[in-house]
Amino acid sequence: MSNPDIITLKDVHTYYGASHVLRGMNLRLAPRSCLSLMGRNGMGKSTTIKTIMGIAKPRHGTVTIKGYNSNRWEPYVVAKAGIAYVPEEREIFPNLTVRENLLVAARLSVEGQDNWCLERILDLFPRLSERLNQWGNNLSGGEQQMLTIGRALMTNPDVLLLDEVTEGLAPIVREEIWSVIEAVKREGIATVIVDKNIGKLMMIADHHLVIVRGEVVFSGDSIELSAQTELLHQHLGV
């Protein structure tokens, strides 16, 4: 039987030079599902996402994307396979306008569909539609983050990887971004989310992994996680 999961990591070990960061990481992302990665600082959440994206290369183990071994894929190949990545540091072109930033990212989905056109992105982010002709570097931090997410959606991805995208933003902007994440989820795009807001993740994600020193110490849904009071306290500071 073919593997129904859209992304899998099996016993993945990733290093930065001599530093052994992922130590047997396992993960499965089902199509259309939302997976959260939790854990304290430095435990390997971003490295897990970078390993999926081909930014960090696994030294042992197997990363699979849509059934193909992607261990050696470069990030642009991963992106072409329908995986979009929104890092914490915003990635926009400062000297293009908002409209240009969105349009240069546009691409059909792997299946050739164009679900996310400019109009839909602007419906999702009304603030951006007010600022269409502004330069990227004239935007506030929150608007730049919305633009980064908008650019990722313009690629019509099957998977969106969101690494601390609400970090450092005003509460009202965070709320707007969470409602966009919920809309993306309703649309059937699978998501992997890292965020400090455990409560939101408990509401939105179908499945959670708690990572400690590059390994999964808990895997389960929100009901199962909320029963783990000791683990929540020890590894998430809740």
* 44, 82, 136, 157: which one binds ligand ATP (CB under 6 A): 44
Shortest Å distance, C-beta 104 to ligand ATP: 27
* Residues 74 and 24: beta-carbon distance below 8 Å: no
Nearer to ligand ATP, 167 or 206 (CB): 167
* 46, 48, 144, 155: which one binds Mg ion (CB under 5 A): 46
Shortest Å distance, C-beta 39 to ligand ATP: 6
* 33, 46, 70, 148: which one binds ligand ATP (CB under 6 A): 46
The one segment of 43-51, 99-107, 136-144, 165-173 that binds Mg ion by CB under 5 A: 43-51
Radius of gyration over every alpha carbon of the chain, rounded to an integer in angstroms:
18
Q: Does 41 bind ligand ATP (CB under 6 A)?
A: yes
d(CA 85, CA 53): 7
Q: Does 168 bind ligand ATP (CB under 6 A)?
A: no
Nearer to Mg ion, 15 or 93 (CB): 15
d(CA 115, CA 160): 15
d(CA 72, CA 125): 35
Site for Mg ion in 177-206 (CB under 5 A): none
Task: Give the interface size with ligand ATP as a residue count (CB under 6 A).
Answer: 11
DSSP annotation of 40 reads: S
Nearer to ligand ATP, 38 or 128 (CB): 38
Nearer to Mg ion, 45 or 174 (CB): 45
Burial class (CB in 10 A: 0-12, 13-18, 19+), 160: buried
The position carrying tokens 């979009």 is 84
Burial class (CB in 10 A: 0-12, 13-18, 19+), 55: middle
In degrees, rounded to 5, the angle at the alpha carbon of residue 12 between the alpha carbons of residues 216 and 88 is: 70
Dihedral sign for Cα atoms in the order 40, 41, 46, 51: negative
Contact code string over 5-24 relative to ligand ATP, x by CB under 6 A:
-----------x--x-x---
Q: Which amino acid is at 218?
A: F
Site for ligand ATP in 98-137 (CB under 6 A): none
Look at residue 41 and give the partner it binds from ligand ATP, Mg ion, none, a contact being a CB closer than 5 to 8 Å depending on partner kind. ligand ATP
Shortest Å distance, C-beta 236 to ligand ATP: 11
d(CA 145, CA 156): 18
Residues that bind ligand ATP (CB under 6 A): 16, 19, 21, 39, 41-47
Q: Residue numbers of the site for Mg ion (CB under 5 A)?
A: 45-46
